[in-house]
Amino acid sequence: MNSRIGVRGLSAMALVLAFVTVLLAVPATMPVSLARDATPGIDPSTLYSHVHFIGASATAGFGVRAPLARGRQGRLEQMTLANVALSARVAAGAVTGDATGLFFANPIPVGTAQVDGALAENPKATLVVADDFLFWFCYGALGADRTPIKDEAQRLALLNKGLEQLDRVVAAGIPLVVGDLPDMQAAVGKMLTPKQMPRKETLAKANERIRTWAQDKPRVAVMPLSKLLVELRSGKPFEAGRRSWSVETDGDLLQRDELHPTFAGSVALVARTEQAANERFLGVRQPNAPGAPTAFEHDPAKVVARLREAMGGGERAGEKAARNATE
């Protein structure tokens, strides 16, 4: 009798496990219509109609060049994140950008000018991407009053100034993707000085401040740049957007300065940005869900192929990609 009960128990357990397995498998194939509803007022069909990038050196494409053969026109052209996204566009639409590697010199006026430009875009931007916009509102050697930072509280006060600028984007009703702050200790002595580096506890407080600021703003998505940088630096395979990434498949994803992404790393940044926007604004938690909106190509090799095709007609890659994207 006990033996029969044990067998029945095992059979029941097998059925339960099988049922759980099916349930766990459902989200990967669940139609987008069954995911969380889109944020009220955001139209999935127009979210990516006009994407505008703002930010610092990573967005400005520092050290990123088109991976074209030597001697090819445009090979040495700096590939900003907007240019990478433009080359990676899957559907028609505009991609614009205003980023600078000199953001560190004076973040408040630079950031103010960039937000001014974003709000002045005509036609109006449908999505503003600020992946590294807040970086120099915490990193750096000078506080908001332009005096040397002697207290880590000055960094948090400066961060508030950056968030105040992004509040203007929110007030305009434009969906916004903003990156949190990565730990760039590995870049100290290369691209960063010790005085520019926040303490770990300051970074933790700053990222908590960013998350708290965004929490009650349905039109703000926080892109975990801190997590992505760890993944880019690790050399281990990781998931971003609609694919897996690895050094073996994609080559180096971070430049030797330990601060800036390579071309492939920039595509990964675009992929993670699109993923964050889809999750927050459209309720799509599975990047590969059937019917999920696809704004950008996430395979660096295919983006390079698009660039090479664009170069074939003799036009500069960015110019032809821009023309094709708006036709």
What are the tens digits of pLDDT across the range 276-317? Answer: 999 999 998 888 877 778 999 999 999 988 888 877 644 444
The burial of 297, by beta-carbon neighbours within 10 Å (0-12 exposed, 13-18 middle, 19 or more buried), is given as buried
Assess if CATH 2.60.40.4070 describes domain 47-282: no
How much is the pLDDT for 206? Answer: 98
How much is the pLDDT for 71? Answer: 55
Mean pLDDT, residues 241-263 taken together = 93
Whether the model clears a pTM of 0.85, i.e. scores above it, the answer is no
- Reading the block at residue 205, the tokens are 């407080």
What are the tens digits of pLDDT across the range 183-210? Answer: 999 999 999 999 999 999 999 999 999 9
Residues 140-166: b if buried by 16+ CB within 10 A, e if exposed: bebbbeeeebeebebbbebbebbbebb
pLDDT band at 69 (very low <50, low <70, confident <90, very high): low
- Evaluate whether 277 touches 125 at the Cβ level (below 8 Å): no
Least-confidence region, from 173-182, 220-229, 266-275, 311-320: 311-320
